[in-house]
Chains A and B, each alone.
Chain A
Amino acid sequence: MNKWLRQDLWRHIVGISICLFALFPLYLVIISSFSSSGSLQLSSFIPREISFANYSKLFNDPTIPYLTWVKNSLLIAGSVAVLSVMIGTASAFAFSRLKFKGRKFGIQLLLLVQMFPAILAISAVYVIMERVYNFAPGIGLGTQPGLLLVYLGGAMGVNIWLLKGFVDSIPAELDEAAKIDGASEVQTFWLIFVPLASPVLAVVALLSFIGTFNEFILARLFLVDMESRTVAVGLQQFIGGQYSQNWGPFAAGSILASIPIVIIFLSLQKYIVSGLTAGSVKG
């Protein structure tokens, strides 16, 4: 036994065993998505066959509007990401760069408001949107625009808070130079600040996208129609406790829906880890 083995063996044992723990469900869901029987069965942990039946069922079975769900999720999460970052950046910029009365109070209020877990106000949101539905059926309860508005409002607190952290870290010299050259605050914002901050804004938008994509309970409460559901709600309702029957297509569907999120997440890992310490997005 050499020194290397004595010193590093335990590290590899820990690493490998926890990797197995991490991979186990993922491995399982991948092999069951390729099995030909649609149900959840584990006669063996080694795949005997590779069949695309579950995937083709996902795209061809009219009772599973999977593509519509994906489209809904992308549309809703995408709009929330873009709009909330646009609106949030303006507020964050003002908090970070402008001097005005009540700034400190505003920040503290924002801190308090963004601490309120959205889910606690869910019954109030439900009742309010039910009332909105009475006079404006297009944006009330049960509609995607309504859900979008609720998401936007909910994302505001956290996003402004997160963006303010990022904006604070961008040096202010350029804005100040622009100001000396006679640019107004609005011009500084659009012509100097936004181009400078655009990579950061893209990161926050992507994080917001992931967060919204993952949101379940408001979407569940809002989107009742089969056709208007998001992927998360659709797949959950689809297996609806009957794991044994619809497991195969569910496995395939969740893999496909997860791939883009995992890719975005891994490519943004650096920012997410630093952002985690500032104001957590997910954990």
Chain B
Amino acid sequence: MHKTAFGALLAGTTMLSPMAATAQTDIQFWHAFTGRLGELVAAQVETFNSGQSDYHVTATHKGNYSETLNAGIAAFRAGEQPQILMVFEVGTATMMSAKGAIKPVYEVMADAGADFDSDAYIGSVKGYYTSTDGQMLSLPFNSSTPVLWVNRNALEGAGIDPDTDLSTWQNVDATLDKLKESGHNCPLTTAWQSWIHLENLSAYHDVPFATKDNGFAGLDTELALNGPLQVQHIAQMGEWANEGKFIYAGRRNEGGANFRAGECALFTESSAGYAGIKAEAQFDFDVRPLPYWDGVAGAPQNTIIGGASLWVMEGHEAEEYKAAAAFLNFLSSVDIQAKWHQDTGYLPITIAAGEKTRADGFYEANPGTDVAVIQMTAKQPTANSKGLRLGSFDQIRGIIDEELEAVWSGDKDAQAALDSAATRGNQLLRRFEQANR
């Protein structure tokens, strides 16, 4: 039925357009973007479709990240899967284990005979999505990393130099004290607490979040998020919460509304918060690197990414894979990537796109937009900072959220909460191992 509807549509457009589109290969691309990002994706697809006549991409919004993944899974079970599916980074292990449902990107490119050099991609971005032997499984699409957002007016209002050094948590602590003393109601808030204050904290200080190279080396991985560094950090945040220096707003990015309204002085959030903050903030703001604990050997290492990648799904015609390869190559091309990076605040996925953005003078015109890029690429990633590959990870994050809430409300101490998160998360990892053996 879909095919006939599409056929009719195609016939209609063919009649309308002066060029006769002959034997175009149509492929489906399911994504999770709405609003401004949705428009930008639609623009990319439009550019691709109008730039050549062999292939046609139909982009469809399928809900938020979890819903898009579920739609892809349900469609696969019904034999109706799209050629390209957007999957958020925590679904990576699920997709990787689904051999028979996915076609790795390096294979798609090789089969299609497409020009493909995986070295063109930024190491710490593609590392999340490559197999242990360095083959790219999915194409990184939108990747961001956490940074520290600063409301300069709030600091000034509390009598603090707005250029004060906030590169370490020790300095942040002192600043929070001053903000609190001056009567500030919301010195610090955060989005995505597990991603920023445990996953990235671990990578940034070069300590494991999970055993077996954070899950890259095997399904028999176990959570190691209850190590001394993580406990110390969460204990400190619990103390701040107790003293009213850290305000918890919710599990996702609810804190963003507080920061953009000017209520909070400091805010840990993704670098992709840029577009929203720039549009709404009625105050001077800064982007700073994510703070680290001074005195920890190896810190700051590099932070890891969040966001999504594009997976090519199994069960389609060779011609359709050629179309997919062409589209993925188009997305990686320098101009498209540079524009995407500049419009959204997401990281560029190729080295060339980053260089072009610098050459364009974008970083000078928009100070702070390169903080995330530098933070990601300053050092070669280690086994602890390459990324995470854990099954059922969306749900494990839910468990971590629950346990952290217990710390913020004072019900549990940091050690007990993180021990419990590890135990409960490990159960899910064992279930995942059983299901994918």
A is bound by B: no
